[in-house]
Chains A and B, each alone.
Chain A
């Protein structure tokens, strides 16, 4: 079983600050996804990365997949209160087709 460890578990920042969330594993993943979840709702897909070293940008969000495809990071620039939520990383590997392994999540709170 591949384990995805997310850090930090909780992050509280002021509006306008930057933040980075990390997702690490000792296993190689064929792809990795980032989701954001708000209270009482299902997770919503933000991005998928599949190539080692890949960097994707989604407005103020930057996602990076590690060269060895074992880790990923999510960086938010100039955070806004609307960025508040639980950020989850999830990965798939070649021997777990169709199944996602989720990290425990990082709770981000952005205060005005």
Chain B
């Protein structure tokens, strides 16, 4: 069966520090991968998605970037965090059909 791992679960970082959140998927190959941000108790905003290694599409302009160095690895990064980057970040995967997505447990990022 397929599983998705996301870490860390919680992160507190100072303003201006770098960021690296990692997501890996097991049990499938060539998945579509997604990074979302969620405001407290609200819907999900798609940040990046990837249909293959090295292929990244950005949905909104922001202080963040994404990379996919391996088929089942998706990384969310920033060189210098802003206060506004605080939030709940979710990674998700889907198969080639793309319509059903399965989510990781999320990372709570607090930028102070």
Binding site for B on A (CB under 8 A): 6, 30-31, 33, 35, 40-45, 48, 86, 88, 90, 92, 97-100, 102-105, 107
- Distance in angstroms from A53 CB to nearest chain B CB is 19
Interface residue SS majority, chain B = strand
Report yes or no: B105 in contact with A31, Cβ–Cβ below 8 A. Answer: no
Binding site for A on B (CB under 8 A): 6, 32, 41-46, 49, 51, 90, 92, 94, 97-106, 108
With A and B bound together, what is the CA distance between A6 and B106 in angstroms?
23
- Distance in angstroms from B102 CB to nearest chain A CB is 7
With A and B bound together, what is the CA distance between A100 and B99 in angstroms?
7
With A and B bound together, what is the CA distance between A105 and B94 in angstroms?
21
Partner of B51, one of A6, A45, A98, A104: A98
Partner of A42, one of B46, B49, B94, B106: B106
Across the two chains, which residue of chain B brings its CB closest to A98?
A: B98
With A and B bound together, what is the CA distance between A104 and B104 in angstroms?
19
- Distance in angstroms from B68 CB to nearest chain A CB is 14
Which A residues are CB-close (under 8 A) to B98? 92, 97-99
